[in-house]
Copies of this chain bind each other. A is one copy, B any other.
Amino acid sequence: MTHIRPATRADVATILEFIRGLAEYEKMLHEVKITEADIAEALFGPSPKVFCDMAEANGMAVGYALWFYNFSTFEGGHGLYLEDIYVAPEARGTGAGLALMRHLARRCRDEGLRRLEWQVLDWNSVAIGFYDRLGADAEPTWILRRLSGEALGKLAA
């Protein structure tokens, strides 16, 4: 039985391990620069703008969901943007992912958040099937654009 609870400072090392597990699954491990200090500062520093819930089974952390508040000017209110969701390999198929998604949906209901949104890699058919079963819409007409590194610095200059 999976239990969901807010992350605490004691989870920082586990969260880093899980972030690396997610990145490995997404074939992006080479992109991971985050450190335990970054996680501690973002989640447990003053006025955090990002939040983390842990999935736990038999007293062991088996997954996490990391999220922040987004906003829709069309809806006229805040939503919840799920940046990461991850379940450790040994806990897959136990309902931990569903428990995390349900927990987030309940937060949306309780806080009046209009949308729960996230992004999925187009080749991740296992995750896509899971999200389809939850009844999630796909919005393929929106293309994510990003400025970072040199291009971002150049525009700022």
Interface residues of A (CB under 8 A from B): 19, 22-23, 28, 31-35, 38-39, 42, 49-50, 66, 68-78, 81, 83-84, 101-102, 105-106, 108-109, 114-123, 128, 131, 134-148, 150-156
Please determine whether B73 and A70 come into contact, CB atoms closer than 8 angstroms: no
Cβ 8 A contact of A66, one of B71, B114, B115, B137: B71
Cβ 8 A contact of A145, one of B34, B136, B150, B153: B136
Could you give 22 example pairs across A and B, Cβ below 8 Å?
A: A22-B73, A34-B75, A42-B71, A49-B49, A68-B71, A108-B156, A109-B153, A109-B156, A115-B152, A116-B152, A117-B144, A118-B144, A119-B142, A119-B145, A120-B142, A122-B140, A135-B151, A136-B146, A137-B146, A137-B147, A137-B148, A140-B144
Chain B neighbourhood of A23, CB < 8 A: 74
Please determine whether A42 and B155 come into contact, CB atoms closer than 8 angstroms: no
Q: Dominant SS at the A interface?
A: mixed
Given A33-B75, A35-B76, A105-B156, is A118 in contact with B145 using a C-beta cutoff of 8 Å?
Answer: yes
Please determine whether B74 and A28 come into contact, CB atoms closer than 8 angstroms: yes
